Structure 1
Amino acid sequence: MNPSTPHPQRRRLTRAELRRRRRRRAIRRVAGLTLMLCVAAGGVSFLLTRRAAIPSASAASAAPLPAQSAPQEAAASSVPENTAPSNALGLTADEARALLADPLMVLVNHTNKMPDDYTFDTKECGSATAVNKTLQTAACDAFLAMQKAAAADGVTVWMQSGYRSVKYQTSLYEKKTQYYLNKGYDNAAAKEKAAAVVNPPGYSEHNCGLAADLNSPEHTGLDEGFENTAAFRWLCAHAGDYGFILRYPKDAEDKTEIIYEPWHWRYVGVENAARINASGLCFEEYIQTLRDIAAEG
């Protein structure tokens, strides 16, 4: 039996850390843009070369048309222009709104509180040593199916911490606030410092029952060491098939404002997970992009 693993304290990035990550991200984007411009310039050169070899429109019009050309031209003119969405996700405004309205896509972080009317049922799927053993029923069923599939591949995945009630979150936040009060901080400063470690009640993703902290016999700690396990490698390859995404990726810390957490996985549903993973965006970026698309319609 493995010893019970205490729940990790989430650390929000400092402003200096955010600035450094944003600077590195900007450098990568500039490099990518430069590459794209070079490719585009090559494409324009190719088109100009091709155009020089094509007969002029007047010369082409002087040649007799085949008998079937007129009907084909008429048919072509009757085909509607491509009306597919031009945004990066290929979604219409209505489709974006529908995704935003999906309860599985609720965004909960230190600036987005879980809706007060957000209700759900829970079901137990935690390991014997789990701190919080339940998830939303749909997320729980998906995790159990994923756990079974991993076991068939010789990999053990445990759910170590799942749904936390707002009441439980309140207790964690108040204890951390009291810790800083005891250090001599005033009430406002103590709450601010506490919020950098433990999200205030309603602002933790665990409160919505869709977040699962995972571990394995290889590495029972909920820390970055989990990324070196077969369980993590298996999750990266297969979790999306069961509706889970890596919630706090390494390259998105300036967007999530949460340090890289290879153990923290979020259930969004199979179709949503496929879309998010295909986009290459973290959850915050994906939700913002949906909001931008929805606002266009």
Structure 2
Amino acid sequence: MNPSAPHPHRRRLTRAEVRRRRRSRAIRRVAGLTVMLCVAAGGVTFLLTRRAAVPSASAASAISMPAQSIADPAVSSAENTAAPANALGLTADEARAMLADPLMVLVNHTCKMPDDYTFDTKECGSATAVNKTLQTAACDAFLEMQKAAAADGVTVWMQSGYRSVKYQTSLYERKTKYYLDKGYDNATAREKAAAVVNPPGYSEHNCGLAADLNSPEHTGLDRGFEKTAAFRWLCEHAGDYGFILRYPKDAEDKTEIIYEPWHWRYVGVENAAKINASGLCFEDYIETLQSIAAEG
């Protein structure tokens, strides 16, 4: 296999596959909610049976609260403010700020990269990389991450990074021609091509924040990478450097892209921490942010 070939095994899920995965996901969510409700019901029962043995809220507060706080209710008022009641614990302003962050741009087969999205790039690719650069911030973060991995005895290479829209166009047109030569009409050929190679402006690689990673253990950009020490190291540490696994195994119905253990996306350290803590894929996280932002 040519180690520098971009996305040799990327495949868009078929509609039937998406529907099956969404049904499975819905079933898992219902099952999880049922378990949570059962646990909550059990907790309420426990609290009711223990109520007589526990001091009242006011009494407990008087026991545990410093005298100064009792005398002055204004003290530490910020500490008594509850977090926003939504899935991410963010205010509408915080959600809007995250959505406005250029590092959080959503680019996929339905969301085109903004035409005015501009950035500088810097080289950090391996000797065999087909696209050697990333956005400068992403590049610097990758080099720091690569150095940290090396200190742990792990080698991580950046194999494919920023692709210009012009380069993406050549990939897409080449794949379209492949299907035209197979006898498909133009519309069908372009649809089939888009299931393998995103059209120009619809690839994360066009925004310079997506990095296809590999290692000497496994130079191919395919699922074999998940069996390497490099992948295990990335799963544990990549978030500390601002990278997230962009196409997780359990989110294929939402991303509509097959599981890609080699494809990592730079979003910044703070954003990565929040996304990873949520357990959501990037599409779901952006959708939730948009919902919270609309509430304010």
TM beyond 0.5: yes
CA distance, structure 1, for counterparts of residue 181 and residue 201 of structure 2: 25
- SS of the aligned residue for 2:115 comes to coil
Task: Specify the alignment match of 1:65 in structure 2.
Answer: none
Task: Specify the alignment match of 2:91 in structure 1.
Answer: 92
CA distance, structure 2, for counterparts of residue 208 and residue 55 of structure 1: 58
- SS of the aligned residue for 1:155 comes to coil
1:74 to partner: Cα distance: 7.7
For the 8 Å contact 1:135–1:162, the answer to whether it is kept is yes
Deviates more, 1:212-221 or 1:5-14: 5-14
Change (3 A) 1:55 1:236: closer
Change (3 A) 1:110 1:76: same
Task: Specify the alignment match of 1:285 in structure 2.
Answer: 284
CA distance, structure 1, for counterparts of residue 106 and residue 55 of structure 2: 57
1:12 to partner: Cα distance: 0.5
Structure 1 portions without partners, runs of 5+: 57-70
- SS of the aligned residue for 1:172 comes to helix
The answer to whether the aligner puts 1:18 opposite 2:21 as a matched pair is: no
Task: Specify the alignment match of 2:151 in structure 1.
Answer: 152
For the 8 Å contact 2:109–2:203, the answer to whether it is kept is yes
Residue by residue, what CA displacement relative to the aligned partner does 1:18-41 show, whole Å, maximum 9, x if unpaired?
A: 122122212211221111111121
Task: Specify the alignment match of 2:65 in structure 1.
Answer: none
Task: Specify the alignment match of 1:67 in structure 2.
Answer: none
Deviates more, 1:271-280 or 1:81-90: 81-90
CA distance, structure 2, for counterparts of residue 33 and residue 110 of structure 1: 31
1:76 to partner: Cα distance: 5.1
Task: Specify the alignment match of 1:60 in structure 2.
Answer: none
- SS of the aligned residue for 2:11 comes to coil
Structure 2 portions without partners, runs of 5+: 57-67
CA distance, structure 1, for counterparts of residue 45 and residue 238 of structure 2: 44
The answer to whether the aligner puts 1:250 opposite 2:244 as a matched pair is: no
Count residues in correspondence: 283
Task: Specify the alignment match of 1:123 in structure 2.
Answer: 122
For the 8 Å contact 1:96–1:293, the answer to whether it is kept is yes
CA distance, structure 2, for counterparts of residue 55 and residue 137 of structure 1: 58
For the 8 Å contact 1:166–1:207, the answer to whether it is kept is yes
Task: Specify the alignment match of 2:166 in structure 1.
Answer: 167
1:54 to partner: Cα distance: 7.9
Change (3 A) 1:140 1:54: closer
1:47 to partner: Cα distance: 3.2
1:75 to partner: Cα distance: 5.0
Corresponding letter in the other structure for 1:48: L
Corresponding letter in the other structure for 2:117: Y
TM-score, normalising length: structure 1: 0.89
CA distance, structure 1, for counterparts of residue 139 and residue 55 of structure 2: 65
Corresponding letter in the other structure for 2:12: R
Specify the structure having the higher radius of gyration (Cα). Answer: 1
CA distance, structure 1, for counterparts of residue 55 and residue 27 of structure 2: 45
For the 8 Å contact 1:4–1:129, the answer to whether it is kept is yes
Corresponding letter in the other structure for 2:263: H
Task: Specify the alignment match of 2:59 in structure 1.
Answer: none
For the 8 Å contact 1:134–1:163, the answer to whether it is kept is yes
CA distance, structure 1, for counterparts of residue 246 and residue 54 of structure 2: 52
- SS of the aligned residue for 1:21 comes to helix
- SS of the aligned residue for 1:86 comes to coil
Change (3 A) 1:291 1:55: closer
RMSD: 2.3
Change (3 A) 1:73 1:129: closer
For the 8 Å contact 1:159–1:215, the answer to whether it is kept is yes
Corresponding letter in the other structure for 2:47: L
Deviates more, 1:278-287 or 1:77-86: 77-86
Change (3 A) 1:268 1:55: closer
For the 8 Å contact 2:214–2:220, the answer to whether it is kept is yes
CA distance, structure 2, for counterparts of residue 127 and residue 211 of structure 1: 15
Corresponding letter in the other structure for 1:141: D
Change (3 A) 1:115 1:41: same
